[in-house]
């Protein structure tokens, strides 16, 4: 059975080792920031989906260590696969794309109750 307190301690170790804020960590593994906050504060327990996302995002994290504290962190031998490199690049692109914003239209409201919409720039 998973000891939640120990799991959270190991999760905090990963954050410190990677020098990530909880918000950056959430963006990296593609979960809501509030989910990380709730986990770290002990409000929620980690889901299987969350654990899998952490395992996939960080190749240096041994799943046995993350779950049970067995083994070492970081892994002594890391053989990065092309797939894991592609995953990291895809995560970075998705994070950047998520933050991009563009102007769609401007609506001007006048005091006489009329308005004008500008959609071509």
pLDDT in tens, 10-23: 999 999 999 999 99
Model pTM score: 0.59
Write the burial class of residue 11 (CB in 10 Å: 0-12 exposed, 13-18 middle, 19+ buried): buried
- Residue 115 belongs to some domain of the structure: no
Backbone φ and ψ for 109, nearest 5 degrees, come out as: -105, 130
Domain that holds residue 86: 4-99
In CATH, what number is assigned to the domain containing residue 53? 1.10.260.40
- Residue 34 belongs to some domain of the structure: yes
| Contacting residues for 71 by C-beta, under 8 A, at least 6 apart | 62, 64, 65
- Residue 66 belongs to some domain of the structure: yes
Q: Is the dihedral of CA 44, 38, 9, 98 positive or negative?
A: positive
Q: Higher model confidence: residue 82 or residue 67?
A: 67
Segment holding 116, helix H or strand E: strand 115-118
- Residue 113 belongs to some domain of the structure: no
Q: What share of the chain is helix, strand, coil (3-state, %, to 5)?
A: 55, 5, 40
- Residue 59 belongs to some domain of the structure: yes
User: Is 52 a residue whose pLDDT tops 90?
Assistant: yes
Instruction: Tell me the C-alpha to C-alpha distance, in Å, between residue 76 and each of 16, 58, 61, 73, 83.
Output: 18, 14, 10, 8, 20
The structural domain count of the chain equals: 1
Return the biggest CA–CA distance within the chain: 71
pLDDT band at residue 4 using 50, 70 and 90 as cut-offs: confident
């Amino acid at each position: 059975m998973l000891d939640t307190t120990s799991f959270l301690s190991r999760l905090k170790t990963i954050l410190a080792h990677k020098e990530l804020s909880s918000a950056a960590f959430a963006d990296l593994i593609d979960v809501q920031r509030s989910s990380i906050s709730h986990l770290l504060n002990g409000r929620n327990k980690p889901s299987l989906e969350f654990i899998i996302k952490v395992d996939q995002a960080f190749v240096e994290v041994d799943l046995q260590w993350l779950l049970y504290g067995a083994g070492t962190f970081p892994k002594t031998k890391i053989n990065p696969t092309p797939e894991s490199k592609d995953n990291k690049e895809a995560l970075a692109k998705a994070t950047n794309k998520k933050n991009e914003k563009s102007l769609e239209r401007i609506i001007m409201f006048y005091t006489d109750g009329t308005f004008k919409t500008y959609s071509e720039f």
